Amino acid sequence: MRPLGVLVLVLGVTGGIFYWTTRAAEKPAPPPPAPQVTEQPKQPAYTEGTASPDGIGKFFHGREISQVMGHPGIGWLERDEREQEEAPTRAIKALELPKDAVIADIGAGSGYYAFRISPQVPDGKVIAVDIQPEMLTFLKDRAKQLSITNVEPHLGTIDDLKLPDASLDAALLVDAYHEFSHPAEMLASMHRALKPGGRVFLLEFRAEDPRVPIKPLHKMTEAQARLEFEAAGFRFISNRRQLPWQHFMVFGK
Ligand SMILES: C[S@@+](CC[C@H](N)C(=O)[O-])C[C@H]1O[C@@H](n2cnc3c(N)ncnc32)[C@H](O)[C@@H]1O
């Protein structure tokens, strides 16, 4: 081979090597190894413990859930002193519902609140949700007696409202939430059933006030209610301190 041929060959080979090594350097760097994630043990939603006389031995965020008030308690729900103890007229006015609002009274019982709310929503309705069929029978009979057509008795289950998604403008829970045996599931169900911007009105006897003559498991503190609702994705809006014995807490979706 002539010297010129040798030179061309050498240049060609080194050029090729240079090209390939440069291309290799241009290749994107391999992705960094995935960070090591240590599995966090999931906090159980519920814990079990010794049941208090009126509790069920099941705890949610540290609060023992109370036993459900059975339908023989309808007489107590309909007691005359309620206006003086709970000021329901004032509470209902403070809901400030538009005439066409659809509101669920969750844990409606005999419908003490539902029937008093119905005139506020002549173009809407009150869905009176309960898990006890006896309460629903009472609600249906009472609606007939009063000729009220915009209170709709509705059977839910212990962990599901059984209402369509985004169908409610508001939800009201009076002296009921503390006895839900599956509050986490009920909160999720409520969240789904509310329209965006929907409100929850939570009325519970004030546990901070020893003068409120109600058994401890049937009362709640504002801090506890906020803990449970905020963990479920609700936004605390206010606690209107205007009722004799109860908190009047407002949460938004
Ligand atoms: C103490 S009563 C209050 C009734 C009514 N809110 C009032 O203030 O007159 C509570 C009601 O909640 C109902 N309840 C309990 N768990 C429920 C649930 N998961 N869903 C709907 N209602 C429930 C009970 O059946 C009972 O009728």
Within 8 A by CB and 6+ apart from 143, the residues are: 111, 115, 149, 151, 153
Q: Greatest CA span in the chain, whole angstroms?
A: 120
Residue among 110, 175, 201, 247 whose CB has most ligand 1 atoms within 8 A, to mutate: 175
Within 8 A by CB and 6+ apart from 243, the residues are: 86, 87, 90, 91, 203
Residue 158 counted as domain residue: yes
Indicate which atom in ligand 1 lies nearest the CA of residue 77: 9
Domain of residue 110: give its range. 73-252
Residue 238 counted as domain residue: yes
Within 8 A by CB and 6+ apart from 222, the residues are: 206, 208, 239, 247, 249
Residue 29 counted as domain residue: no
Residue 26 counted as domain residue: no
Task: Give the pLDDT of residue 29.
Answer: 56
How confident is the model over 39-85, as pLDDT tens digits?
Answer: 655 666 899 999 999 999 999 999 999 999 999 999 999 999 999 99
Whether 3 shows a pLDDT value over 90: the answer reads no
Residue 121 counted as domain residue: yes
Residue 65 counted as domain residue: no
Residue 224 counted as domain residue: yes
How confident is the model over 155-199, as pLDDT tens digits?
Answer: 999 999 999 999 999 999 999 999 999 999 999 999 999 999 999
Residues β-bridged to residue 125: 102
Q: Where are the alpha helices (DSSP H) in 1-100?
A: 3-26, 74-77, 82-86, 88-93
Model confidence, pTM: 0.85
Structural domain count, the chain: 1
Which of 218, 182, 210, 168 is CA-nearest to residue 55? 218
Q: Whose CA is nearest to atom 16 of ligand 1?
A: 180
Query: 129 CB less than 6 Å from ligand 1?
Result: yes
Domain of residue 83, CATH code: 3.40.50.150
Task: State phi, psi for 96 to the nearest 5 degrees.
Answer: 50, 55
